């Protein structure tokens, strides 16, 4: 009898837990028509440039893209001179020198984008105990990819009636649990785009997501071009093998 009561209580608790989880479950992110999607997709060069600017002026203070090298920017239309100038704007640690000491020097195209914090402990100390994640693979690491990242950046707002965000957390309907430690990072007019594009929160979100999709896979266009060549080769080879097969076996019919 006790076992039956315990089982009933456990089932009730499970149902309550499922109900609470469902209430806070994030909706699926809206699907966007990204230029880099599909077999023949490519990166929108202008969007990557704008997204790089948004990352540099808004995101780089807290988040790194440590797997992306400055020279990778040449894949999306930056000139060699532009890449050198961008790299030289940051200081990277190098060494040891002849005296066995580490030193700082201007960045070079071969260097990777530096992280804003020396280590995770420093990141947590500067962000009330939360460690901002590196964004190098963010569009691959999250379910929904680029759609999720764009939705997250634009999903801030007032919590629904009856829901109160915990102290130090912000309501975001697309974040798991719908409460996130990062305040809304994008505000209209926060950056000035050199090409004259209006810097709305939506536009900045689209552009920085495109940049981070590029950061996650700089070789994407090369891989797709190679894939198309391989497919064409396989199609031609299949046709040739079929013709040879018919020729060899035609004498038996």
pLDDT along the chain (253 residues), means of 10: 41 39 71 94 97 96 95 95 95 86 92 92 87 94 94 93 85 92 92 96 97 96 92 94 85 67
Q: What pLDDT sits at residue 8?
A: 40
Q: What pLDDT sits at residue 97?
A: 85
Range of the domain at 187: 41-68+112-240
- Name the token pair of 131: 């460690």
Count of beta carbons in the 10 Å neighbourhood of residue 56: 17
Task: Kindly report the CATH number assigned to the domain that includes residue 202.
Answer: 1.10.760.10
Query: 3-state DSSP call for residue 42?
Result: coil
What is the sign, positive or negative, of the torsion defined by CA atoms of 28, 32, 33, 38? negative
Q: What pLDDT sits at residue 12?
A: 40
Q: Could you tell me which residues are beta bridge partners of residue 57?
A: none
Flag whether 222 is in a domain. yes
CA–CA dist 202, 222 (Å, integer): 29
Count of beta carbons in the 10 Å neighbourhood of residue 169: 18
Q: What pLDDT sits at residue 24?
A: 58
Q: What pLDDT sits at residue 217?
A: 96
Flag whether 208 is in a domain. yes
Flag whether 253 is in a domain. no
Count how many domains the chain has. Answer: 1
Q: Could you tell me which residues are beta bridge partners of residue 171?
A: 179
Yes or no: say if 135 and 64 are a contact pair by the CB < 8 Å rule. Answer: yes
Flag whether 83 is in a domain. no
Flag whether 143 is in a domain. yes
Flag whether 158 is in a domain. yes
Q: Could you tell me which residues are beta bridge partners of residue 156?
A: 172
CA–CA dist 18, 80 (Å, integer): 55
């Amino acid at each position: 009898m006790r076992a039956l009561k315990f089982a009933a209580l456990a089932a009730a608790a499970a149902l309550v837990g499922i109900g609470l989880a469902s209430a806070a479950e994030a909706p699926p992110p809206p699907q966007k028509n990204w230029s880099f999607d599909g077999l023949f997709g490519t990166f929108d060069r202008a969007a990557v440039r704008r997204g790089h600017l948004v990352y540099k002026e808004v995101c780089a203070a807290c988040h790194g893209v440590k797997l992306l090298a400055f020279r990778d920017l040449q894949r999306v239309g930056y000139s060699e001179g532009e890449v050198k100038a961008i790299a030289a704007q940051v200081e990277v640690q190098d060494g040891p020198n002849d005296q066995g000491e580490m030193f700082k020097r201007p960045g070079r195209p071969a260097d990777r984008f530096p992280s804003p914090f020396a280590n995770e402990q420093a990141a947590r100390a500067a962000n009330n105990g939360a460690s901002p994640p590196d964004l190098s693979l963010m569009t691959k690491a999250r379910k929904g990819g680029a759609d999720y990242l764009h939705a997250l950046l634009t999903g801030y707002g007032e919590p629904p009636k009856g829901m109160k965000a915990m102290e130090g957390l912000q309501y975001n309907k697309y974040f798991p649990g719908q409460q996130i430690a990062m305040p809304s990072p994008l505000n209209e007019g926060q950056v000035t785009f050199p090409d004259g594009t209006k810097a709305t929160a939506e536009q900045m979100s689209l552009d920085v997501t495109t940049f981070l999709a590029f950061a996650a896979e700089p070789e994407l266009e090369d891989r797709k071009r190679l894939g198309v060549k391989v497919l064409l080769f396989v199609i031609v080879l299949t046709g040739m093998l079929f013709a040879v097969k018919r020729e060899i076996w035609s004498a038996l019919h």
